[in-house]
Amino acid sequence: MFFCRPNMDPGPRSSGFQSLPSMSRPPTKVYDRDSNVLVVDESDEVLRFVKIHLNRYFSHVHAARSVADAIVHLKQKTIQVVIADAAPVKKSNADFMKKVASHWRHIPVVLTDGEEHIDIRVDQFPHVVVVDVVRKPFELDAFHIAIRRSIAIAKSLRQLSDTLPAKAPIGETVRSAPLVDLAETVKPLVTDIRKKLTEEIVD
């Protein structure tokens, strides 16, 4: 999923993001005109850069600098994707993931990780479906793919959340539960989500 491309124009200093390559095959179209994407990060610089960039390709991008701001967005809008700074050493971020797991487990999450010494994996979150962990700095194609995968599974994930028992680990169910052990109402939803998480994304 991740590729190194030469001649990348670095984004804002210390933001962890890179702007579009000067050549190669930059995205040329809006991918989604309906979904709401919520970006949560304590850095104003990161939020500004991500919001400006993603607004070119995804119609509704909302920025939240704090957990409190993010909760307001989640309560007031129908969010399809949450993009959040992983940084598990920060209590506020850990609290946010717990709130998402408790109240919005139907929303897929893309984590961004700027801490090179911290090994974050998608299977570390049994009660949330983490689509990908995108390292900073990262190539924008990988970022877009993670968001597009999240949007692709949003409908099935909501149905799965409504079907599973309240305390069932939805992330673990999607990632590793044997299909033979799943209820007949759950099996097709998990199958669809797994397919969309692994199939190739093309323009």
Structure tokens at 43: 């850095």
pLDDT digits (tens, 9 = 90+) for 94-125: 788 889 999 999 999 998 887 654 667 778 88
Domain 32-198 has CATH 3.40.50.2300: yes
pLDDT digits (tens, 9 = 90+) for 75-91: 999 999 999 988 755 66
CA distance 20 to 84: 21
Give residue 18's pLDDT.
36
The secondary element (H helix, E strand) that includes residue 166 is none
Pairing assessment for the beta strands 32-40 and 58-64 based on DSSP bridges: parallel
Q: Residues of the chain with pLDDT > 70: what percent?
A: 75
Task: Tell which phi-psi region holds residue 67, choosing left (phi > 0), alpha (psi between -120 and 50) or beta.
Answer: alpha
- Domain ranges across the chain: 32-198
Question: Following DSSP, what letter does each residue of 34-57 receive, concatenated?
Answer: EEEEEEE-S-HHHHHHHHHHHTTT
pLDDT digits (tens, 9 = 90+) for 49-80: 788 878 777 768 899 998 999 999 999 999 99
Model confidence pTM above 0.85: no
